[in-house]
Amino acid sequence: MKVPTERVWRCCDRSIDLSTSLVMGIVNVTPDSFSDGGRCFDAAVAIRQGLQLVEDGADLLDIGGESTRPGADDVSEAEELRRVMPVVSGLNGRCGVPISVDTRRPAVARAAIAAGACIINDVMPLTDGPEMADVVRESGCGLVTMHMRGTPKTMLAQAVYEDVVAEVEDCLAAALAQCAARGIARDRVVIDPGIGFAKTTRHNLELMAAVPRLARLAPVLIGASRKRFIGELCDEPAATERLGGSVGAAVWCALHGAAVVRVHDVKATRQALKVAFELDQLDGAR
């Protein structure tokens, strides 16, 4: 899981070592999550889930209060705050790992950072004017900037590309330039090609195969866990039954340069990465 270069991700007062691939555990505080059907919608359950993921080996936690599955409806800012804030506050100081909040709203980002989060995972990066950039710059938090077309409601209709890798690469390079123009230091930013966001199964596979290329731009986060394309490839309609395909995707991407893999099944992914890492080390020593 050696990434292409030695890199550090600056996130508020933390310096996160990206010299080997990290596992980001997912905590969905939503009633309509595609991956678990809302199992962690209750704050107390979500906090227990986050602590369990850390015990299972998560290096980071990503907390989300708005579903971004295809066709998902928006939730209000007030509702997102109601869902997310008790979980961030409940995990801060207890989980021992950096906390990320998956949000596109500056007010949610600002509140989450004040409560102890140090990373903003923005699926619609910096699209609503300068306020989100201001939050990131002023706080010094880490930022995940992701490629996406449209919104969760409309993105399936926009999965049309002539060259998906080149087009996503250009958009991510533009996002990095936009961050720099708004005063966000390069070592604060990780890029995400947006697996499953306005992408077909073929597009997702091409982007994952291009991780070494994308990693030349900036550290790469891959979030493929339990997604629809795995179900299509493996003929498995139930998201919770896509463990094998999800672990396979995470291991492949880690071995080819992904700095972070964002997953639901931390323990299985951690075990698989450990074995793959040991084999890769032996192979590299020959």
Q: Which two tokens stand for residue 41?
A: 């919608």
> 250-275 pLDDT, tens per residue?
999 999 999 999 999 999 999 999 99
Q: What is the mean pLDDT of residues 205-220?
A: 97
> 53-112 pLDDT, tens per residue?
999 999 999 999 987 766 667 789 999 999 999 999 999 989 999 999 999 999 999 999
Q: Which residues pair with 17 in a beta bridge?
A: 8
| 227 counts as catalytic | yes
| DSSP helix, strand, coil percent of the chain (3-state; round to 5) | 45, 15, 40
The residue annotated as part of the active site, out of 227, 228, 242, 270, is 227
Q: Percentage of the chain with pLDDT > 90?
A: 79
CATH of 8-285, one of 3.40.50.300, 3.20.20.20, 3.30.70.3270, 3.40.50.2300: 3.20.20.20
Q: Which of these, 77, 1, 83, 96, lies nearest to 42 by C-alpha position? A: 83
H or E stretch at 24: strand 22-28
**What's the burial of 280, exposed, middle or buried (CB within 10 Å: 0-12/13-18/19+)?**
middle
Q: What is the mean pLDDT of residues 181-203?
A: 95
Residue 6: per-residue pLDDT: 59
H or E stretch at 16: strand 14-17
Q: Which two tokens stand for residue 31?
A: 């009633």
Residue ranges per domain, the chain? 8-285
Q: What is the mean pLDDT of residues 159-176?
A: 94
The residue annotated as part of the active site, out of 188, 228, 262, 270, is 262
Q: What residues contact 55, with CB distance under 8 A and at least 6 apart?
A: none
- Cβ pair 25, 61 in contact under 8 A: yes
pLDDT band for position 281 (cuts 50, 70, 90): confident
Residue 123: per-residue pLDDT: 81
| 110 counts as catalytic | no
Q: Which of these, 27, 7, 66, lies nearest to 263 by C-alpha position? A: 27
Report which listed range, 38-52, 81-95, 113-127, 128-142, is most confident: 81-95
